[in-house]
Structure 1
Amino acid sequence: MTWQWINFILFLAVVGYGLYLFYKAVFHRYLYVKLGQPAEFHSSLQGGRLQEFVSQVFAQKKLMKDPKSGLMHIVIFYGFIILQFGALDLIVKGLTGGGALPIPGYDAFSLMQEITVFVILVAAGYAAYRRYVEKLPRLKRGWKPSLVLFLIFFLMMTVLFSLGFERIWLMHEASVYAPLSSLIAAVFSGMSETAAKAAFYMFWWAHLLILLAFLVYIPQSKHFHLLTAPLNIWFRRAEPAGRLKKLDLDNEEADNFGVGKIEDFTQKQMLDFYACVECGRCTNVCPASNTGKALSPMHMIMKLRDHLTEKGAAITSKSPWVPGFAFSSSGVHAMSGISANGTNWDSPEVTDIGPTLEWQKGHWAVQERKAEELELIGDVMTEDEIWSCTTCRNCEDQCPVGNEHVDKIIDLRRQLVLMQGSVPAEGQRAMQNIERQSNPWGLSRNDREKWTGEIEGLAVPTVKDNPDFDILFFVGSMGSYDLRSRKISRAFVRLLHEAGVSFAILGNEEKNSGDTPRRMGNEFLFQQLCQENIETFQKYGVKKIVTACPHTYNTLKNEYPEFGLENVEVLHHTELLDRLVREGKLNPQYEIKERITYHDSCYLGRYNNVYEQPRRILKAIPGVELVEMERNRENGMCCGAGGGMMWMEETAGKRVNVARTEQALQVNPTVISSACPYCLTMMEDGTKMKEVEDRVKAKDIAEILEQSVFGLN
């Protein structure tokens, strides 16, 4: 039997074994995902699904939010696609003893391959530089993150040395179409043809083995995202951003609500776990992670993935690790159980993800326990982490693989609230007050319209006073009860009167929208409030609603329709005011000489893509100088009040609203504007804590516009 036949048989055996191991690793993880609850895997091309898929997978839109790493990733991504043809050509060379693919313009093909190898080496070098020289906090360091960089480096070098020794073996002359391999051939020009041939096959086999090792390693590492991320992006939810899953509370057979064990997550949520690339972009922008709280969105996904893999292996008796002899399988990952509150965090004066990363790294470790014995809440995710989330969705906006973090947090909260009755005391008090009096403070529900008596000379009609109204002004609990937010309500009413808008309020018939209970996990209370409000809307024939609260706006617009609210247009007050200004019904004529920076509300911006309308209003006001914070629009940082955090105390690290206020103060504003009563409260408190309230005011867009329309001081 000739050497070529022996080489061919070995090639088939090794490749076959590698493909078998790859299949085994992927299939076992598929079995783990199947343990989850059935999910609807949306695949319709409607709603721009194909365009979004192309922009995220092939244009790497999310990755380009960080242009440097985005460009580096694009080079490696497309470089490997291009090199697949070179790899096939190299395999043919080895199997045929020097033959080549019958490619037209082979010289140009060779040049493109060598340039691609060089560019990938540069990109991999830059990746190492960012990780180990720049030491970006969000990027992990260690042998696991480094392994792929070594694999890429040696894979590229084996390509070049194979081609270089091939030139000596087959006595090819130096060529400008093969500059790198020609250089290597020149360095080793004294070798005999036999030695060069042996060297060629040594590097040829090294290339093949590294390539197969890479293939087998991919599904057993974060690089599984190469397969799962495109699927995750394609099957992303078609609903409005951040819409929470409706619970069937009338199902008498249901014995569990929320997620109490890993199998309670849906299969689509589990696909998220395996799509995570551990890039840390989510944690890098998370307001909790940035201010020394326990929660790190990246670590949450990683921990859930590890737990699913280990528990899935135990349930299915299918090991996730192949080949088995190469991996240790003793013990499972679990949290040490130490509370984040009281941890010795770094200085609360620093906005930094470092303390959170260190805490996660120090407490997620292998322990001699069984996966089936672990409690999802407690051993995998601590309550401190679960209650640190502000539901701002900045993590989801940054994620390049389409992962959703907030719905998982809410599912865990639902388990705590509905099944375990475990809620922070302040949150429990707020929900009890909402249940009893339909507002978080527990003030009398009969005082909801009391604020209307504070507007001199103007009537605020209820739906009974003006049954032919065009727009229902849904005031909300903040606008009705909070003394500071009442000023927004009064300003907005004055502007509606000035513009000649026919409107009405529900008065004491209005109830809390239910946003706070739902984001805190109390789905039962939310659905009760939702149904009661919808019945009231239907009773008075409501066709259009406007509200000054983005949380209420998002709930009415995106979540009430699932419960029966139909054919009702929902507007945020900035959308309506912007329209009235552009139509000439409101004339901002008086000059306001202020340097204003605008803080984007998460529920207005990232949830509903309302960015331009508030800014257009400010730009229409004479004298206003609009300046943008470094983190603005979709990259804006949360004020810290969402997800029920408005009603709970921050007990670890720095206050989120202080961190956001500091970011606003960096542009030296005289006014910090917002379009949300929660944000306004948090930013105003922030200026007081920074002791700058005398020179920097916090105002709502409606208040600033009112000042310009009526010439108020």
Structure 2
Amino acid sequence: MRGWLAAFVILCGLAAFGWIVLGKAKLILAGPQDGRMKLEWRRVRQTVVQSFGHRRLLLDRRSGAMHLVLFYGFLVLQLGALQILWKGMFGTALSWADNGVFSLLQETTVALVLIAVVYAGYRRYVEKLPRLPKGPKPLLVLLWIGALMLSVIATLAFERLQQQLPSSGAAPLSSGLASALSERSADMGYEIAWWAHLLLLLGFLVYVPLSKHFHIFTAPLNWLLRPVDAPKMEPLNLEDETAEKFGASELADLSRKTRLDLFACVECGRCTDVCPAANTDKGLSPMHLMTKLRDALQNKPMSFQPEADRPFATTGQASIRATMAWQTDSWRPSETKPNLIGEVVTEQELWSCTTCRACEERCPVGNAQLSPLLEIRRYLVLTEGKMPSEARKTLQNIDRQSNPWGFPRKDRTAWMEEFAAKEGWRIPTIRDNPRPDWLWWVGSMGAYDARARKVTFALAKLLHEAGVSFAVLGTEERNSGDTPRRLGDEFLFQELCKTNIETFRRYGIKRIVTACPHTFHLFWNEYKDFGFEGEIHHHTELLAELIQRGAIKPKHPINRTLTFHDSCYLARYNGVTEAPRAILASIPSLETREMARSGKQGMCCGAGGGRMWMEEPGKRVNELRTEQALATGAQLIGSACPYCLTMMEEGIRKHEADDWASAADVAELLALSVFGESDKRSQK
């Protein structure tokens, strides 16, 4: 009788699970395809490494180890559950599970999972990590898992009593519990424990797709369908005359990959923990962005409060919004089809993002939090024409004069005249050297900004010293289009992109070097969508190669300590972390010190995503990053990006540390070591 009844209950549980999962799958597949969900063999490896190797989770070793125990504990215990249910339904043991080794493995796993559950509760409710949501739901899950483990041991213990088995070292937990129980309770106890185990197991199975724990199934799928190349924005077909709008403004506009991201979100708060906007109280929490969109997609009450009602918290060096831990029972009902802008996502959230991708790099389930945010920006700019006033002015300047300040185009080559007067030789243009090995893309910062020009001069001298055949476009150089694209003006970006590609084709350009990581990323990854094929190097890559070949020889010592700040678009987007460090390591007497957050885990300077040209209220991101750099005690803050250099220098002045610290590009430091010239900036 037990067997037939249990079979019916199991079928009902599986049917309920399947019905719920089918509903979720329909929601995901109802979204438009954006080209990101495609299966490639290369993605299988990242799925195995991330899902089964827990690479991202283990960045936080304690939390990662805890999750590792829970993850593999559940996998192992499913075999034990199969054995328990099989014996209860059919009265016989499975041959492969009826031995002491399997028994010891099961009970050891139960003990480890119980320890992990207790530790999880401690981190959330005693240690009270700010990034972890509190409230009854997480506690319910922990109690549920704990009860499931106890039901395993109770079932095994009562089974030992029924069969009058002696205590065994292969079953330490069940043997110990059995010795404390009465044999008269064996039959009733086994019945209660066995059914409790079955119902807890099926109940959890049904609960999983109704909660964040659906990531058990969606996270591996998310990794399997996640691009392995450098992240990039997908192009819009602006020539589609049937399009009523561009970008995303409604739930129906969210792509399939974005919807899968939403259901994969585990609400761990790691993304918000490293978000520069969240760390400086700008109103943006990547975790809440995902959960709000997911709740709206399912037409559920949104588990967040309006911005004005949210409390704030500051935790030492990293100021983290307390909304990461905020739960409220007074949820307001969501509308059937809410407008994403204003009703789900605020404009403050949209424009606070620096597009640094720290959230995506830290996400253990491979989510792309930037995708919906940037699509909503596109809608605001392209369809409604709405954006912050500073952004509008910047885009107008780029459109009219091809630089963010609106300086005359003819002044783009003024730096070349200044350089010629100072050094006694002229920078060759593409007309002077029509077949160069390298086209040097100077960029707007390198051409117009007084501070960035010093980096331009240093790079020019180094290329000349190494005998590199190069040329610049001069007055034919335009804005790369990075700022318009990140701000949502796809129309202006594509106009600039196509103009630049036509220029490259006209001169047969195949190799480009630039000192701007944003331009480097754009040319290398996003211009490809518009037909450009070429070899793009960041200036640190080319300089490191020249040093390795012996074409450049650093010989003058720099007796200073330095900490290097990684550019997000260089390190996180494109994985270039070793080239700048190789350059610094080649400089005699220069002592380097790494910040706690460096390389692909480095913190943003605050200038990306168009934020370079916009006002920033409250504590500035660059101030926090500079604070982290100064905490190392280093006298120099090295960088490899004109935006970062500007932000670090501003941060140094803000902290009133310019009497002992300064910032410099690696090209400047290398030039100082190669040529031995005095540089007041580096001699502080």
Kindly indicate whether the alpha-carbon contact (under 8 Å) linking 2:561 and 2:592 is maintained by their aligned counterparts in 1: yes
1:594 aligns with 2:557: no
With the length of structure 1 as denominator, give the TM-score of the two structures: 0.92
- SS for the counterpart of 1:673 is strand
Counterpart-to-counterpart distance in 1, 2:488 and 2:327: 28
Corresponding residue number in structure 2 for 1:11: 6
Counterpart-to-counterpart distance in 2, 1:365 and 1:618: 55
1:97-132 C-alpha deviation (Å, 9 max, x unpaired): 4x3111266111111111111111111111111111
Question: How much has 1:420 moved relative to structure 2?
Answer: 1.2
Q: Which amino acid aligns with 2:377?
A: R
1:407-441 C-alpha deviation (Å, 9 max, x unpaired): 22110100110111110011111011000000000
Counterpart-to-counterpart distance in 1, 2:616 and 2:176: 62
Question: How much has 1:45 moved relative to structure 2?
Answer: 3.9
Counterpart-to-counterpart distance in 2, 1:246 and 1:638: 25
Question: How much has 1:93 moved relative to structure 2?
Answer: 2.2
- SS for the counterpart of 1:699 is strand
Corresponding residue number in structure 1 for 2:164: 171
Question: How much has 1:496 moved relative to structure 2?
Answer: 0.7
Question: How much has 1:678 moved relative to structure 2?
Answer: 0.1
Question: How much has 1:332 moved relative to structure 2?
Answer: 3.4
Counterpart-to-counterpart distance in 1, 2:418 and 2:529: 36
1:229 aligns with 2:219: yes
More displaced, 345-354 or 528-537? 345-354
Counterpart-to-counterpart distance in 2, 1:377 and 1:42: 25
1:308-327 equivalent positions in 2, closer than 5 A: 308-310=297-299
1:54 aligns with 2:21: no
Using a 3 Å threshold, how does the CA distance of structure 1 residues 146 and 104 change in structure 2: closer, same or farther? closer
1:640-651 equivalent positions in 2, closer than 5 A: 640-651=606-617
1:82-103 C-alpha deviation (Å, 9 max, x unpaired): 1111101111221234x31112
More displaced, 397-406 or 677-686? 397-406
Identical-pair percentage: 50
1:667 aligns with 2:632: yes
1:274-298 C-alpha deviation (Å, 9 max, x unpaired): 0001111111101011111111011
1:331-346 equivalent positions in 2, closer than 5 A: 332-333=301-302, 338=307
1:186 aligns with 2:175: no
Question: How much has 1:9 moved relative to structure 2?
Answer: 2.4
More displaced, 605-614 or 34-43? 34-43
Question: How much has 1:221 moved relative to structure 2?
Answer: 0.2
1:24-423 equivalent positions in 2, closer than 5 A: 24-40=19-35, 42-46=37-41, 48-97=42-91, 99-103=92-96, 106-188=99-181, 190-192=182-184, 195-238=185-228, 240-310=229-299, 332-333=301-302, 338=307, 351-357=318-324, 366-368=331-333, 370-372=335-337, 374-423=338-387
Q: 2:648 aligns with which of 683, 695, 701?
A: 683
- SS for the counterpart of 1:663 is helix
Corresponding residue number in structure 2 for 1:319: none
Counterpart-to-counterpart distance in 2, 1:348 and 1:698: 27
Kindly indicate whether the alpha-carbon contact (under 8 Å) linking 1:543 and 1:569 is maintained by their aligned counterparts in 2: yes
1:478-534 C-alpha deviation (Å, 9 max, x unpaired): 001111101110110011111111111001110000000000000000000000111
Question: How much has 1:443 moved relative to structure 2?
Answer: 0.3
Question: How much has 1:339 moved relative to structure 2?
Answer: 6.0
- SS for the counterpart of 2:302 is strand
Q: 2:460 aligns with which of 474, 493, 514?
A: 493
Counterpart-to-counterpart distance in 1, 2:257 and 2:346: 23
1:23 aligns with 2:21: no
1:562-599 C-alpha deviation (Å, 9 max, x unpaired): 11112x11000000000111111111110100100000
1:440 aligns with 2:430: no
Corresponding residue number in structure 2 for 1:507: 474
Query: What RMSD over aligned residues (CA atoms) do the two structures have, in Å?
Result: 1.8
Question: How much has 1:43 moved relative to structure 2?
Answer: 4.6
Using a 3 Å threshold, how does the CA distance of structure 1 residues 558 and 379 change in structure 2: closer, same or farther? same
1:634-657 C-alpha deviation (Å, 9 max, x unpaired): 110000000000001112x41000
Question: How much has 1:349 moved relative to structure 2?
Answer: 8.7
Corresponding residue number in structure 2 for 1:317: none
Question: How much has 1:361 moved relative to structure 2?
Answer: 5.3
Corresponding residue number in structure 2 for 1:577: 543
Using a 3 Å threshold, how does the CA distance of structure 1 residues 345 and 224 change in structure 2: closer, same or farther? closer
Using a 3 Å threshold, how does the CA distance of structure 1 residues 355 and 650 change in structure 2: closer, same or farther? farther
Q: Which amino acid aligns with 1:114?
A: E
Q: 2:389 aligns with which of 425, 428, 434?
A: 425
- SS for the counterpart of 2:292 is helix
Q: Which amino acid aligns with 2:474?
A: G
1:249-280 C-alpha deviation (Å, 9 max, x unpaired): 01111111000101101111100000001111
Kindly indicate whether the alpha-carbon contact (under 8 Å) linking 1:458 and 1:494 is maintained by their aligned counterparts in 2: no
- SS for the counterpart of 1:366 is coil
Counterpart-to-counterpart distance in 1, 2:521 and 2:288: 28
Q: Which amino acid aligns with 1:199?
A: G
Q: 1:483 aligns with which of 435, 438, 450?
A: 450
Counterpart-to-counterpart distance in 2, 1:698 and 1:287: 21
- SS for the counterpart of 2:153 is helix
Q: Which amino acid aligns with 1:420?
A: E
Q: Which amino acid aligns with 1:588?
A: P
Question: How much has 1:368 moved relative to structure 2?
Answer: 4.1
Kindly indicate whether the alpha-carbon contact (under 8 Å) linking 1:128 and 1:149 is maintained by their aligned counterparts in 2: yes
Kindly indicate whether the alpha-carbon contact (under 8 Å) linking 1:293 and 1:356 is maintained by their aligned counterparts in 2: no
* Residue ranges of structure 2 left out of the alignment (5+ in a row): 679-684
Q: Which amino acid aligns with 2:205?
A: L
Counterpart-to-counterpart distance in 2, 1:693 and 1:569: 39
Corresponding residue number in structure 1 for 2:681: none
Kindly indicate whether the alpha-carbon contact (under 8 Å) linking 1:335 and 1:381 is maintained by their aligned counterparts in 2: no
Q: How many positions carry a matched residue from both structures?
A: 675
* Residue ranges of structure 1 left out of the alignment (5+ in a row): 311-330
Kindly indicate whether the alpha-carbon contact (under 8 Å) linking 2:135 and 2:327 is maintained by their aligned counterparts in 1: no
Counterpart-to-counterpart distance in 1, 2:335 and 2:658: 55
